[in-house]
Amino acid sequence: MEHYFTAKSRARLIRSCREQAQAFFKGRPKAERDAFLARFDDFAPRLTDLLHGLYRDQFDFGLHLAALTDVLCESWKSRSRKLRETDEARLANPNWFCGPEMAGAVCYVDLFAGDLKGIEARISYLQELGITYLHLMPLFKSPEKENDGGYAVSSYREVNPALGTVKQLEKLAAKLAENGISLVLDFINNHTSGEHEWAQRAKKGEAAYQEFYYLFDDRQIPDAFEPHLREIFPEVRRGNYSWHEPPGKWVWTTFHNYQWDLNYRNPAVFVAMVREMLFLANLGVDFLRLDAVPFTWKVQGTVCENLPQAHDIIRALNACARIAAPGLLFKSEAIVHPDDVIAYVAPDKCQVSYNPTVMALLWESLATREVRLLRESLKYRFNLPAGTAWINYVRSHDDIGWSFADEDAATLGINGFDHRNFLNQFYCGDFPGTFSKGVKFQYNPSNQDMRVCGTTASLAGLERGLEMKDDAWSADAVSRILLMYGLCMSIGGIPLLYLGDEIGTLNDYSYAEHPAKKGDSRWVHRPRMDWELLKEVREDKGPRGRLFTGLKKMLRIRREVPQFAENGLRQMQTHHGSVLAFEKSNSRGRVVVVANFSEHPVIAHLPNGSTLLPHTDLITGKAYAQIEHLELAPYQLLWLQQN
């Protein structure tokens, strides 16, 4: 009987919101109204259930659901005709982002092109590379001095004036779309800066906005949470709370003191963030990178990461997007255990996700000259649901954390703690025989945790090679880079190029002289794009020229190989510890990918009936009568298509 009355109450609430939407669109074009109501009918019941699960203990839950309905209606009403046409095309082809033509690039606007107008002027360069997905790092208004590279957002509706205006951003989004390039922006949804209007009003004592954050009069509650929480930036400060005057309270600040965690326990915060999210969607943004997704929900006695409610928040945001901006997709950013990373990837959560595990294990395999940990991880922690895709990358704006699964390491007799220490030493240049010149990041004396910073070229050995004027050393470095990027292009998903890697950009140590950057060694791998160097590289027959032409060639080939975009892969035995091999196949055929992670020539054995057949390497064009026994050059990558 109780279930009967609960179901009736649920139906009344959904019906009330639908009637509210019908009234909103009264007098509006029929097609506009009918399209919205059809999607509302599809997703509102699920959205209601998700929000009720999160906020059933909030007496005003129904009022917030009504407010959310208004936000969804207003957003759809404001969505341009062109964006609605894009919505329809993507609804008709929901896997539009899963094809081999998808190739990504990421950059800071100012460091790559100066400002938004500069990005528009460089579209032809992106097309030269074959880029169809452009991620612009945080570009919204943020504090001038300390802003965590833009991740302390002060307004979701104002562009950093040094970069341009919202109108220019909207114009750029349209221009990119005209040229077949999807726009990706960060939606920093875990926190705002202390300069955001909401935080400023909280500082003034406005109760409604103090409830947008976690504010405490004393240390009683923070001290109950603190023992279970991870410290993200231990070199900057210890703990997860900071005292702010005003408002004369302790503020939950997981990352930096100036980044105030949003209180999603308050349904008004969810409604407000949906409003900001849909504002960005209506500018023409195709993907939103959800930042720090594991941290959005707090429960005492837990680590406050990866809680079920954090997943429900994403599902609810996704449902809102499906109703009011159905062409919008989400990208997950979660640098956590590999199983927790995968848990955020689903059509009803984040449709794409960074693949930090493969990234870390590519570097691990280069350091050890062994692929066994990479193989073990691919076996159990790579497959994704249909309708989703990995974002495979070699480097990003962030540090490298060794996010492999300790249980995978233990299976192979590897001590995870000791192995991470080795990798940190190797890539920070402290291990004998290393080729890398990396920089330490955020050493935690409590648990000896540490991460590594550096550009791809410097970590891969090109900086040392150029310093020594050793052509062979530099050639090996370039081969390492091409090997890693080639695997990102062929393993399955969307490859992501950190712009500047294609010309072998080295570490920029000048960050240490900048007052606002010197405490954050990640700036060592965020140099300005050297356009003069690009001119030289175009004419260069040496290492950097080989790198530039090699990456462009592989990106061009990838567009014609649909198997490379498929999620699944089948690993193949190679009978050599340094060689990884896997098969990518679909109804149009198969391609075998073989990669040598050693600086020595090796022979791989691939006993398999199909390996006795003739193949052609798509990269070099070389024909092989059989591939059962393969001689591989140092760091060689083969894309072998069966003839």
Q: Where are the beta strands (DSSP E) in 176-302?
A: 182-187, 191-193, 215-216, 241-244, 249-252, 259-261, 287-290
Contact 608, 572 (CB under 8 A): yes
CA dihedral 342, 500, 434, 415 (to 10 degrees): -10
Taking alpha carbons only, the member of 121, 116, 106 closest to residue 167 is: 116
Between CA 49 and CA 38 the distance in angstroms is 18
Q: Report the residue count for the chain.
A: 643
148, 231, 333, 398: the active-site residue: 333
Secondary element (H or E) of residue 583:
strand 579-586
146, 261, 276, 291: the active-site residue: 291
* Token couple for 256: 């930096």
275 CB-side CA count, 13 A: 16
Between CA 349 and CA 332 the distance in angstroms is 9
- What are the start-end ranges of the H helices in 600-643? none
Q: Which residues pair with 630 in a beta bridge?
A: 604
DSSP assignment string, 330-361: EEE---S-HHHHHHTBSTTSBSEEE-HHHHHH
Contact 419, 370 (CB under 8 A): no
Between CA 33 and CA 119 the distance in angstroms is 36
Asked whether the CA dihedral 103, 109, 110, 115 is positive or negative, the reply is: positive
Active site residue 223: no
Q: Which residues pair with 586 in a beta bridge?
A: 589
Active site residue 291: yes
Between CA 235 and CA 213 the distance in angstroms is 24
* Token couple for 37: 């109501």
How many of the other CB atoms lie within 10 Å of CB of 36? 23
Angle at 22 between CA 20 and CA 28, to 5 degrees: 130
| Active centre residues (catalytic) | 291, 333
